[in-house]
Structure 1
Amino acid sequence: MLMPYKTILIDDEPISINRIKRLLKEYDDTFEIIGEALNGQEGLEMIEDLRPDLIFLDIEMPILTGFEMLERLTFMPIVIFVTAYDQFAIKAFEENSIDYLLKPIEKSRLDKAVQKLQKFTENQSVQLSIDSLQSLTELLKPKKDIHSISVKQGDKILIIALQDIAFFQADDKYVFLHTLDNKQYITNYTISNLTEKLPSHFIRISRSSIVNGNQIRELEKHFSGKYLVALNDSKRTKLETGISYHDNLKRFSL
């Protein structure tokens, strides 16, 4: 990739954007700022329109968070996060080979980010997959203590206990809840919503599937390094994993 990198700054705090711009002036030969956005929706539209090489991305923003914006992209630039997350959460960024700048941004830390970027470029591995970014989302989003999911059936609202759910699966515009006794219901959630809402024993195994880890019967090796997750529901369902989600299964099985 030729330098300078065409760069977009996305942050809902103008002060933060101005600070990044000041710090980047020292790297005119590395970064060319071609746009600024103050929320995730503006960032999404700007990225799709301008196709930058790289973005500096805040996480907590109005309209769309940084993660929600990334999940909607059809074009994936290099991502350097600008974050206020604590040191524990930041380990997830490091493990996923995504660089980050902790607010308030220090020049010395930016220097290291630039060095890391140059190494990535030399190794031709700067672009990260959308799957990897979604996997990172799961590591950082808090889980809430819930015990059921409500679904509509005609004029009724049914309450489905989590223990009776085998898996969730996205199909086109809808996400379906599948029970252990082979019933299926349309939910009002996205897979990303459910990832945030469900407790930790529900495991996202691909971009389109979340399984009840307590109902996993076995894992079977599949093609291209993937696995088939066999469940204990009445249909003995088998779902294929996404490679970037294998760590979710590993953490659950430890």
Structure 2
Amino acid sequence: MVATQRVLLVDDEYLARDELKDILRRRHPDFEPVAEAANAREAWAALQREQIGGVFLDIHIQTEGERAGLDLAYAINNLPAAPWIVFITGHPQTAVEAHRLHPAHYLLKPLDDAKVDEALSWIRRQAARAVFGADPLPQRIKIRHRIVNRFDERETHVEYVDPREIVFIAKNNAANSLRIQLSNGTALDGVYGALKEWEHKYPGLGLLQIHRSHLVNIRQVRSLRPRPGENEVYKVALKDSAHELAVGPEYLETLRQKMEVGLL
């Protein structure tokens, strides 16, 4: 499991902080907001008081000036164990100087779930590499799933799976459950949980959402092909499965980037 990171939210707008807290609660429970600040003074006090691993920092703090966030970031970077910084701003013209501070990421307001997902996935990978030198994966993971036995009764079974065997994970339409396809051809159906949980559970695995209904192991993608005349514009073929998966238009560019880089 990914370790919980204690984070500080710095924004002079309460609603902006509340929006970010909601995104973290819904999609990234391993990033725990332990402190909030409406200005640089409150933020600095929180950094002295709390053990903070990361800071979501608004650049333009209206009560203190356009550079208040940047000035605070310079001070944070000088701390002995400086937390990472994700800049948040509604003023893209500040990006040039902000990037000189080597932030972990840079987000524009209004916040978008997908962009926050991308930023925090990158931070998870960097944290894993810092500790282990690579993205760590357990040798086995425990997966609970439901089956129907020979008496037509539902039973819960437990499988111990090498996570590298996972080819893709798909939502079941008829039930609030998932189907996990393994490289040996086995499909574990009736798995508890949501897609978003699996995308972030093992950052070293390389699971990527390519459709509202499924994730794919990016290392399993063999080709990306257009599907002319159909609602979904592209599909992927896989190395260890005969299945072909649809790619939603909103996920296409991210998938292309990941395939070209070759690493998540």
1:66 correspondence with 2:23: yes
Conservation of the 8 A alpha-carbon contact between 1:182 and 1:233: no
- Which of 16, 35, 45 is equivalent to 1:55? 16
Contact 1:229 1:241 in 2 (8 A): no
Would you say the 8 A contact 2:232–2:248 is kept in 1?
A: no
Give the share of equivalent positions with the same residue, in percent. 12
Counterpart Cα distance in 2 of 1:218 and 1:155:
35
**Normalised by the size of structure 2, how large is the TM-score?**
0.49
Residue segments in structure 2 that go unaligned for 5+ positions in a row: 1-6, 29-38, 44-51, 71-88, 94-107, 126-134, 146-154
Kept in 1: contact 2:137–2:205 (CA 8 A):
no
Q: Which runs of 5+ in 1 are unaligned?
A: 1-11, 22-35, 37-53, 72-81, 91-99, 118-124
How far off is 1:177 after superposition?
Answer: 0.9
Distance 1:228 1:144 in 2: 29
What is the distance in 2 between the residues matched to 1:249 and 1:221? 13
Aligned: 1:196 with 2:200: yes
8 Å CA contact retained: 1:225, 1:243? no
Q: Which amino acid aligns with 1:197?
A: K
Distance 1:132 1:55, change over 3 A: same
1:218 offset after TM fit, Å? 0.9
Distance 1:67 1:220, change over 3 A: farther
The 5-angstrom pairing of residues 179-218 of structure 1 reads 179-180=182-183, 181-198=185-202, 199-218=204-223
The verdict on how the C-alpha distance between 1:192 and 1:216 changes in structure 2, with shifts beyond 3 A counting, is same
User: What does residue range 1-254 of structure 1 map to in structure 2 within 5 Å?
Assistant: 20=12, 55-57=16-18, 59=20, 66-69=23-26, 101=58, 107-109=65-67, 113=89, 115-116=91-92, 130-142=113-125, 144-153=136-145, 154-172=155-173, 173-180=176-183, 181-198=185-202, 199-222=204-227, 226-244=233-251, 246-254=253-261
Cα distance change, pair 139–175 in 1 and its aligned pair in 2 (3 A): farther
**What count of residue pairs does the alignment treat as equivalent?**
177
TM-score (norm 1): 0.50
Distance in 1, matches of 2:212 and 2:24, equals: 14
Distance 1:56 1:226 in 2: 37
**How much has 1:189 moved relative to structure 2?**
2.8
Asked if 2 retains the 8 angstrom alpha-carbon contact of 1:131 and 1:244, the reply is no
Shift of 1:132: 4.4
In structure 2, do the counterparts of structure 1 residues 67 and 141 end up closer, same or farther at CA, with 3 Å as the change threshold? Answer: farther
Separation in 2, partners of 1:208, 1:111: 39
Residue deviations 1:115-145 (CA, integer Å, cap 9, x gap): 459xxxxxxx976654444444433444653
